[in-house]
Amino acid sequence: MINFNYETEFKLQEEDNLRIWIAGLIKAEGFKLEEINYVFCDDIYLHKLNVEFLNHDTLTDIISFDYTVGKLIQGDIFISVERVRDNANDFNTDFMNELHRVMAHGVLHYCGYKDKTKDEKSTMRAKENEYLAALKS
């Protein structure tokens, strides 16, 4: 089950299509979906979580809490719509494209992908692009 929750005025369009897309990503990576809760919020909301749970006093676009057990994907993904919008402007891309990238990014972490080293970042970006292309087709 994939749930979309809103702590801001932003609302996704086509929630059902996005559920199908995320479930397809999980299946393609060899995992099974249990439950993912997306929470769309603002910078203040996400900053508070970043400080409280990660001891990071910075703004971020996404925080994911991974409860995956074995191949059964479970987790909570918090996304700052404000930060995604700013990043889309900074990266000269469409807001929805950047939002979808971040949505996939969180799930890819649950599938075992990391992004700390240059090689890991490259692999993560390639996977994000692969699944973004699948969404658009």
Q: Which domains does the chain have, with CATH numbers?
A: 2-136 (3.40.390.30)
What separation in angstroms does the CA of 74 have from each of 35, 65, 69, 99, 116? Answer: 5, 9, 8, 20, 22
State yes or no: 61 annotated in a binding site: no
- pTM for this prediction: 0.92
Of the pLDDT bands very low, low, confident and very high (cuts 50, 70, 90), residue 50 is confident
State yes or no: 115 annotated in a binding site: yes
Strand 72-80's sheet: what is its strand order? 2-6, 32-41, 72-80, 62-66
Please state which of the ranges 25-29, 49-53, 74-78, 86-90 shows the lowest mean pLDDT: 49-53
Q: Could you read off the pLDDT of 29-48 as tens digits, one per residue? A: 999 999 999 999 999 999 99
> What's the CA gap between 49 and 79, in Å, rounded?
11
State yes or no: 100 annotated in a binding site: no
